Amino acid sequence: MKNPRRPFARGTVRNPPNRYQRQRTEPLPGSGHPFEVPRTTLQAEASRTVLSRNRSPDVPFDRSVNPYRGCEHGCIYCYARPGHAWMDLSPGLDFETRLFCKPDAPRLLRAELSRSGYRPAPLALGSHTDAWQPVERETGLTRRLLEVLAECRHPVCMVTKSALIERDLDILAPMARQGLVRCAVSIATLDHGLARLMEPRAAPPRRRLLTIRRLAGAGIPVTVLVAPSIPALTDHELERILAAAREAGATSARMVVLRLPKEVGELFEAWLRDHFPQRAERVLGRVRELHGGRLHDARFGRRMTGEGAYAALLGQRFRLASRRLGMVEPPELRCDLFRPPRREEKGSQLRLPGL
């Protein structure tokens, strides 16, 4: 019998109320029953603009496009989970199963890039949730966004843990030859069993290494993103992840320590106690050590690296291993090739099947 606490291929069975809800319900002791396998739903979301701006010094871009809200990968540690509260949904199971997309995103991007005052700079594709998550196979939204960027020779950077990005090599490879693309592939662990518990619908670690190899083979600069590094759970794998990614063709590396903003802390702690009860206190203690006694520190310059002796040791290990493997900084992307895209005529935008 399947574990009734874990629906097939979902990161969490919990669906706690979001932080804006005043009431919450809890099941009575002994009243639990096996979950039905939750089905993924996709709902169209109306948007007036598609470019998001940020001023964070922690990320190497100031603009991004996110075709999807919510992510079917179901990564239990995902920092984007609290965003579902804005839709009055739970950052738990709702985040993995009730997804939203922006069918007009390619048209809106074309319109924004064609404005007379627009100045190009590297654009992050899918910085909030993975732009190549499973529903992309049906919608093709990310591919259509890439087609707009390729047409106007706009620089783009991306991060993914999906092998589906290989589908778009016919667009990405020519852009890479023009110095317009760089890609990061996220790997938190090389342990297949742990990955299935922690990132149930993302590509397995070995498959991501193959994706790195294929991207690099197509001439695309690849960064391995060791994210998140989880104290006392995956941090011992740091050097092995870097070495495996370097052997596959990655030429640069970056690391982010575990951060658990808002509702993610509660979800991750419950997941940890379900699957690793004997290790839970040690992991949570280390996380608090990284973030000044809390599970999350929102301060710029600290939230992704942590602070204190343990953070310094982890950072030193990362730098030494990266230097030994010959990792370098990712290349600067060209902005001087940009040309405004053609405007689409009214009524010419494509619509997603069933939306």
Give the pLDDT confidence of 171-209 residue by residue, as tens digits: 999 999 999 999 999 999 999 999 999 999 999 999 999
- pLDDT for the residue numbered 60: 76
In a domain, 71, yes or no: yes
CA atoms of 336 and 256, how far apart (whole Å): 31
Structure-block tokens of residue 50: 């598609």
Q: Confirm if 210 and 163 have CB atoms less than 8 A apart.
A: yes
| Per-residue confidence band for 240, with pLDDT thresholds at 50, 70 and 90 | very high
For residue 7, is it within any domain? no
pLDDT in tens, 283-338: 999 999 999 888 888 777 677 788 999 999 999 999 999 999 999 999 999 999 99
Give the Cα separation of 127 and 142 in Å (integer).
12
Residue 31: pLDDT band with limits 50, 70, 90: very low
**Considering its fold, how many domains does the chain have in total?**
1
Q: Identify the domain containing residue 229 by its residue range.
A: 41-325
Say how far apart CA 244 and CA 203 lie, in whole Å.
Answer: 16
Give residue-wise pLDDT tens across range 1-10: 234 445 568 9
Closest to 238 in 3D by CA, of 274, 190, 194: 190
User: CB count, 10 Å around CB of 196?
Assistant: 14
Kindly report the CATH number assigned to the domain that includes residue 84: 3.80.30.30
In Å, how far are 42, 117, 135, 330 from 216, measured between CA atoms? 32, 35, 25, 13
CA distance 206 to 204: 6
Look up the pTM and report it: 0.90
In a domain, 215, yes or no: yes
E strand segments, the chain? 41-44, 51-53, 63-65, 68-69, 98-101, 123-125, 156-160, 181-186, 222-229, 252-257
Classify residue 20: in a domain, yes or no. no
Mean local confidence (pLDDT), 264-275: 96
Asked whether residue 26 is assigned to any structural domain, the reply reads no
Residue 31 lies in a domain: no
Please write the tens of the pLDDT for every residue from 89-147. Answer: 999 999 999 999 999 999 999 999 999 999 999 999 988 899 999 999 999 999 999 99
CA distance 316 to 296: 21
| pLDDT at site 80 | 94
**Mean pLDDT over the full length of the chain:** 90
Residue 32 lies in a domain: no
Structural contact between residues 187 and 161, judged by C-beta atoms closer than 8 angstroms = yes
pLDDT computed for residue 351 by the predictor: 47
Q: Could you tell me which residues come within 8 angstroms of residue 99 by beta carbon, excluding any fewer than 6 positions away?
A: 40, 41, 42, 43, 68, 69, 70, 71, 72, 135
- Contact residues for 285 (Cβ-Cβ < 8 A; gap 6+): none
Residue-by-residue DSSP string for 233-300: TTGGGHHHHHHHHHHHT--EEEEEE----THHHHHHHHHHHHH-TTTHHHHHHHHHHHTTTSS----T
In this structure, is residue 249 part of a structural domain?
Answer: yes
Alpha-carbon distance 338 to 248, whole Å? 31
